[in-house]
Amino acid sequence: MHSTKSGAIKHQMQLLRQQFAQIESDPVTEALGASEMAQILTDEIGCYRERVYQPMVTLRLFIDQVLSTDHACQDAVDQRLSQRMADGQTPCSLSSGPYCKARKRLPLRLPQRLCKHLRARLESAIALLWGWRGRSVKLFDATTVSMPDTPQNQQVWPQSNRQKPGLGFPLARIGALISLSSGAVIDYDARPHEGKKKR
């Protein structure tokens, strides 16, 4: 039993490495490191079924979607269809449903670990050119984001007190500590938006 599971994991690692090797010039792979990214994926996801939207494919499409100007799920699906056609594979559906379900299957710890890994790589690669008296300088910035208006979100992330109850979207304030040298987010936190408070 144990040897079968071990063999399946080795097979998954080989598949991940092959996927990375096919696109060596990709900036995401270069920034994160192919073998390190494959190892983190294996740690967080383990074995998975062969699908049109495998975890590695889904993650790459999701990163591209977030970085694009449109942010549309349909663009990610179109991109996957183009990839499959270029590789001589059977075309996939143009429906965005399977891609959205695949995104939901990605564990939250996956992007968290990848961000932490990227931060460490960026920080180690950049000398303290922007330091002050030999010290690393950190910046702080914050923003607010609105979220879908669901009862669960309303309980945790209340809407602005300027809006009538039930007519606004839940708001969160996100604060981040940023490295001046690399631009990497060192750490962040999200809290309910409470507006400016008088002291």
Domain boundaries defined on the chain: 2-114, 129-192
**75-79, 107-111, 156-160 — which is least confidently predicted?**
156-160
pTM: 0.63
Q: Which residue type is seen at 146?
A: S
pLDDT in tens, 103-119: 999 998 988 898 888 88
What number of residues does the chain have?
199
List Cβ<8 Å contacts ≥24 apart for 192-199.
192/156, 192/157, 192/158, 193/144, 193/157, 193/158, 193/160, 195/160, 195/161
Is the per-residue pLDDT at 195 higher than 90? Answer: no
How many separate helices (H) and strands (E) can be counted in the chain? 8, 3
Q: Which residue has the tokens 């073998």?
A: 35
Residue 99: which pLDDT band, with cuts at 50, 70 and 90? very high
| Res 23 pLDDT > 60 | no
Task: Compute CA 159 distance to the chain's CA centroid, rounded to the nearest angstrom.
Answer: 26
Check residue 178 and give its pLDDT.
92
> Of the given ranges (9-18, 40-49, 133-142), which has the lowest mean pLDDT?
9-18
